[in-house]
Amino acid sequence: MKGVSAAKVLANNGVTDFVILEASDRIGGRILKEKFGGVSVELGAGWIVGVGGKETNPVWELATEFGLRTCFADYTNVRYNIYDRRSPGKIFPRGIAAESYKKAVESAVQKLRNKEDYGGDDNGSNSKIDEPPSSVPGFVKVVDAEAVPVCTFRDLGEREFLVADERGFDYLVYKMAEDFLFTSEGRILDSRLKLNQVSFLH
C-alpha cells in the first residue's frame, strides 16, 4: 500500500516518471484475501488500527471515502464477540453469543478429556508433556509484545475496526490506484506498475 500511496502523492504533484515495484503478482503488499467457504477471508491486514484521535488515520479516510464495510472491534467482552456470517460486520447479541461460546468450550474440554482417557494423541502416540507451556523448549512468550507502535494509538486514536467487506481490504488499494494509474475493466494496465519483482530473498 505504501508504494501505491507514495506514487499517488508524486502523481498529484505532477511527477509522472515513477515506477511502482511489487514483489508478487498483485498490489497491496501484506493486504491479501482468499475465498474460503464462499466468503472473502483476510490473510494479511484485517483491521484498521488507530481511529478517533487528534490526527486522522489516512487508511480510515480511504475506508470512509470508498464505503468499506467495517465494524468496531469491541474488546470489552471479547470472548463473546461472535460475528454473524450472513450479515458481515454484525455481532450476535451477547446472550446467544455467550451460550454458543460456553457450548464450544465445554465441547473442547470434553474432547481433551476423551483423549486423556484414551492415553494418546490422534497419531496413537502416548507422549505427554509434564511441563507447563512456558517452560517447553521453543515456546515463545508474547505477553509483553507490542505489535502496533504506541504512537499509533496516541496520535491516531485507540479505536480499531475489523474490515468486514466482501470486496476485501485490498479494495482500498485498487481504488487509490485507479485515481492515477491506467486501468481497464478493474485491472491495472499501467506500464509504471511492475509486478513479480522479487524472486529470491536473502
Cβ atoms of residues 55 and 131 within 8 Å: no
Residue closest to 26 by CA, chosen among 196, 149, 151 = 196
The whole-angstrom separation of Cα 28 and Cα 173 is 6
Backbone phi, psi, residue 31, to 5°:
-80, 110
Q: Cell for 33?
A: 484475501
Q: How many residues does the chain have?
A: 202
Tell me the three state secondary structure of residue 159: strand
Average pLDDT rounded to a whole number, residues 49-68: 93
The whole-model pTM stands at 0.61
Quote the mean pLDDT of the chain.
79
Tell me which of 25-29, 117-121, 135-139, 166-170 is least confident. Answer: 135-139
How many other C-beta atoms can be found within 10 angstroms of the C-beta atom of residue 156?
22
Q: Cell for 34?
A: 482468499
Q: What's the burial of 29, exposed, middle or buried (CB within 10 Å: 0-12/13-18/19+)? A: middle
pLDDT bin (cut points 50, 70, 90) of residue 171 is very high
**Which has more pLDDT, 124 or 105?**
105
At residue 107, the pLDDT reads 86
Domain map (residue ranges) of the chain: 1-31+169-202
Residue 118 has pLDDT above 70, yes or no: no
